[in-house]
Structure 1
């Protein structure tokens, strides 16, 4: 049975394996179910214990009126999306919280609010990729491609190639290439570059490491290629970002 956390009078979170327990739920609520293994997130306009929420690692049940008041909208139709890395990281923190007692409950409640806010933000800006984007892929293939995305998100600072990713996730190169683009609207190489450049940006802002060292740590063999890629992605060179931080 999942662990219940009363986040507020308007929101309840259910976390962990097992079914969602019945009980006192917020009145006229909507539901979100996060399946971390499959990297998907489902919206349910009329959640209820049982089939609708089966298999989710994290379930939120939230009053419609609260969503309307805070986010300005309430989704109307059942839908499932692929779980972006940003949302997956927050969801993982909710599930993996090891702090005990009231402190752990409070931390999970706070992270649940953050997860709901980011979910609505991504829904409103239209950046979520529908799960049916997997097209002709089988469920197992879609799950393995989602695993490839998770591998990139977790190991972007290591040497990654299409061959190594396909071997690690048990799917051939061709299906990985086509399926990844279909599911995530980008190539495998683009996903790796995006994570590496995002990591580089964080290091430039948070550390005093030399720019060339940061580029090398993020998988770039020379400073020129790092600077070109970073400038295309963020519109300024790494040194310019670093200097702006130091001047602030």
Structure 2
């Protein structure tokens, strides 16, 4: 049987990509092993070493990072045998680790960089309590959870469009009631709040990285008036856009 492609990102972190078992000889010391399902499956699991010859074969991405590195870099360890639903943005990063184009050394360099990004984003989400445990307090079936995760990805990718609960529900094959309940259970927000968060985060990025006017940024991020943009931004970040830009420039 073919083995997964190993990427020695650092002496404390190895990423394995593809089908088949992982080469145990390449594991870091005292590894925390994380399996990302089949990427289409919206879950990440903490695996045990015996899983590397069986259960992990079908995982397209497996991370092995030493406990010491987890504690030093992220100040936390995932709980043993934990399993969490992956937010759409993390699933997108997982797909980016697998789907790499190029020749020679370029694909491995890209996979290593994207593996580091996915690892950091995953631990940030765990540390901030944004990861919903599989088997936790949810009324949704596994199929519905997959559809809600797809809806969340629609929000992340198409936030500039005029998204409504009805339109998103139709696109992911859920009723409006189930989509609304699913967002509350998995992401602790409404669809409208998720869209607003995505727009405001993009606005904050543009304030820091561009010289566009405040009104232009607001319009690009879906706000029809400067007043509505300013109010929404201040509610979210505690300061108006002009003050945020001033802080970013002097930081």
Same fold per superposition (TM over 0.5): yes
TM-score, length basis structure 2: 0.85
Distance 1:84 1:140 in 2: 15
Matched ranges for 1:1-248 at <5 A: 2-16=4-18, 18-26=19-27, 27-35=29-37, 36-46=39-49, 48-85=51-88, 87-133=90-136, 135-246=138-249
Q: Is the 8 A contact 1:30 1:46 kept in 2?
A: no
In the TM superposition, what is the alpha-carbon distance from 1:7 to its structure 2 partner?
Answer: 2.1
C-alpha offsets along residues 215-242 of structure 1, whole Å, 9 cap, x if unaligned? 1221112211111101000111112223
Q: Is the 8 A contact 1:45 1:75 kept in 2?
A: no
In the TM superposition, what is the alpha-carbon distance from 1:245 to its structure 2 partner?
Answer: 4.0
Distance 2:230 2:135 in 1: 37
In the TM superposition, what is the alpha-carbon distance from 1:243 to its structure 2 partner?
Answer: 3.6
In the TM superposition, what is the alpha-carbon distance from 1:3 to its structure 2 partner?
Answer: 2.5
- Larger deviation: 96-105 or 138-147? 96-105
In the TM superposition, what is the alpha-carbon distance from 1:202 to its structure 2 partner?
Answer: 1.0
In the TM superposition, what is the alpha-carbon distance from 1:39 to its structure 2 partner?
Answer: 3.0
C-alpha offsets along residues 128-179 of structure 1, whole Å, 9 cap, x if unaligned? 2223346221211110000000111111111111111001101110110111
Ranges in structure 2 where 5+ consecutive residues have no aligned partner: none
Distance 1:219 1:47, change over 3 A: farther
Distance 1:134 1:181 in 2: 11
- Larger deviation: 184-193 or 215-224? 215-224
Distance 1:152 1:220 in 2: 16
Ranges in structure 1 where 5+ consecutive residues have no aligned partner: none
In the TM superposition, what is the alpha-carbon distance from 1:45 to its structure 2 partner?
Answer: 4.3
TM-score, length basis structure 1: 0.86
Distance 1:197 1:187, change over 3 A: same
Distance 1:64 1:242 in 2: 39
Distance 2:89 2:172 in 1: 21
Query: What's the secondary structure of 1:219's corresponding residue?
Result: coil
Query: What's the secondary structure of 1:119's corresponding residue?
Result: helix
Distance 1:242 1:66, change over 3 A: closer
Distance 1:222 1:234 in 2: 18
Alignment RMSD, CA only?
A: 2.5
Question: For this pair of structures, how many residues does the alignment match?
Answer: 247
Q: Is the 8 A contact 2:88 2:149 kept in 1?
A: no
Distance 1:220 1:69 in 2: 41
